[in-house]
């Protein structure tokens, strides 16, 4: 099959929801166009804005950092070490290698070392699920680090699949607060920097293809804490729908953003004020991050014998697992 854009090269990647198939060069153009369209249409940032890209070492965030640098934006990386054995260290190395290769600035914050909040340990010491403690900590640090270093915009690598899966989860549980805040842009507010998702128009397999075609060395293993996460189930379900009806994920997400989100948005206006301890914006006297630190620092009550784990087998995160997704970037086109 010929590339539907240039019509001279063989196509290497099919984008069925656009009824198109691209050769390597035209696919990279398509990818950049979608990012530019997201930035400009949603007024994410201007040419002269400094952007802080939250990077995990995975394909999405490094692809985002790469495309923003390639488009000429002043984009620095922010890596947050989560203290997950066997996963955090190689993730950080991928980010550092990328920064070196692109002569770009990388800011590293270590949750365990600097705040005593390594995710595995925090989950053990509190009643929270690891991903809940992780999400809370990352949201807090994205904002704090951006303000501390003079960045007005934080960009994350959430793609179309991530956003559609999150939307499905929020709808299934009628999480109206989360539905109100689910958008490609969360504007600047009192003490809150702007948050943007420039990859929201691109599917996961497209960011993987971009990363491979651009020679980006990313961590392929999934975070071991994601095992059993509901979001993976929602992604699988949406992929099944997409396979029989291309464009389902996009129309699901874009339809929500256009037609339904404004209804939730108006009802969820909240008032922010500075946290009594750290000064970051919050709706409660102490922000959720300071409460989490307090909870972790609190001495634990000794547990009954029945609940004690054997000393020889300390609880810890499961070992990293190889990615199960079929990230074969150059997917044969259907003929
Ligand atoms: Fe954090 Fe959970 Fe994602 Fe791992 S899977 S990076 S713990 S939110
Ligand atoms: Zn606080």
Tally of domains in the chain: 1
The answer to whether residue 11 sits within a structural domain is no
Q: What is the CATH number of the domain that holds 88?
A: 3.40.50.620
Q: Residue 291 corresponds to which tokens in the numbers above? A: 């409460």
- HSE-up of residue 211 (Cα within 13 Å, Cβ side): 28
Task: Please report whether residue 131 resides in a domain.
Answer: yes
Closest CA to 184 of 146, 151, 214, 154: 154
Structure tokens at 203: 């599917």
- Residue 223 Cα to ligand 1 middle (Å): 6
Provide the H-helix boundaries in the chain: 24-41, 59-70, 88-102, 111-115, 119-125, 130-148, 160-172, 176-181, 204-213, 230-244, 248-255, 261-267, 288-297
Range of the domain at 130: 41-220+231-297
Domain contains 71: yes
Q: Is residue 304 part of a domain?
A: no
Ligand 1 atom at minimum distance from 138 CA: 1
Within a domain: residue 175?
Answer: yes
Q: Which residues line ligand 1 (CB under 6 A)?
A: 119, 130-131, 134-135, 223, 225-226
pLDDT of residue 51: 98
pLDDT over 90 (residue 147): yes
At residue 228, the pLDDT reads: 83
Confidence at residue 270, expressed as pLDDT on a 0 to 100 scale: 73
Residue 24, domain member (yes or no) = no
Residue to mutate, 226, 235, 319, 324, ligand 1, most ligand atoms under 8 Å from C-beta? 226
- Do residues 77 and 105 make contact, with C-beta atoms less than 8 angstroms apart? yes
Q: How far is CA 273 from CA 135, 177, 192, 281, in A?
A: 21, 18, 11, 5
> Can you give the pLDDT at residue 267?
60
> Over the stretch 208-244, which tens digit does the pLDDT of each residue have?
999 999 999 999 998 999 888 899 999 999 999 999 9
Residue 161, in any domain of the structure: yes
Torsion angle of the four alpha carbons 94, 95, 101, 102, in this order, in degrees rounded to the nearest 10: 150
pLDDT, average across residues 231-258: 97
- pLDDT(324) > 60: no
Ligand 1 atom nearest to 131, measured from its CA: 2
Residue whose CA lies nearest to ligand 1 atom number 6: 223
The distance from CA 276 to its chain's CA centroid, rounded to whole angstroms, is: 29
pLDDT score of 128: 87
Say yes or no to pLDDT of 308 above 60: no
In a domain, 33, yes or no: no
pLDDT at res. 242: 98
């Amino acid at each position: 099959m010929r590339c539907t854009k240039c019509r001279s090269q063989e196509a290497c990647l099919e984008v069925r929801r656009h009824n198109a198939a691209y050769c390597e060069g035209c696919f990279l153009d398509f990818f950049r166009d979608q990012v530019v369209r997201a930035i400009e249409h949603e007024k994410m940032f201007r040419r002269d804005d400094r952007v802080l890209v939250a990077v995990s070492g995975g394909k999405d965030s490094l692809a985002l950092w790469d495309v923003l640098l390639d488009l000429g934006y002043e984009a620095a990386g922010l890596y947050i070490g989560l203290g997950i054995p066997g996963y955090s260290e190689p993730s950080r190395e991928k980010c550092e290698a990328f920064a070196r290769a692109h002569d770009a600035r990388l800011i590293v914050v270590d949750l365990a070392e600097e705040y005593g909040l390594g995710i595995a340990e925090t989950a053990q010491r509190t009643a929270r699920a690891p991903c809940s403690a992780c999400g809370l900590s990352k949201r807090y640090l994205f904002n704090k680090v951006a303000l501390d270093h003079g960045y007005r915009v934080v960009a994350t690598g959430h793609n179309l699949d991530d956003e559609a899966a999150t939307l499905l989860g929020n709808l299934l549980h009628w999480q109206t607060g989360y539905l109100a805040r689910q958008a490609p842009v969360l504007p600047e507010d009192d003490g809150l920097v702007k948050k943007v998702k420039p990859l929201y128009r691109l599917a996961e397999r497209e960011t993987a293809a971009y990363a491979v075609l651009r020679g980006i060395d990313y961590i392929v293993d999934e975070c071991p804490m994601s095992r059993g996460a509901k979001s993976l189930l929602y992604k699988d379900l949406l992929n099944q729908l997409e396979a029989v009806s291309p464009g389902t994920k996009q129309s699901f997400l874009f339809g929500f953003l256009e037609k339904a989100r404004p209804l939730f948005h108006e009802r969820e206006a909240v008032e922010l004020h500075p946290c009594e301890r750290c000064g970051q914006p919050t709706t409660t006297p102490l922000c959720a991050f300071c409460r989490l630190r307090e909870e972790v620092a609190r001495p634990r009550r000794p547990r009954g014998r029945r609940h004690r784990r054997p000393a020889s087998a300390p609880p810890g995160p499961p070992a990293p697992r190889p990615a199960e997704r079929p990230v074969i970037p150059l997917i044969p086109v259907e003929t």
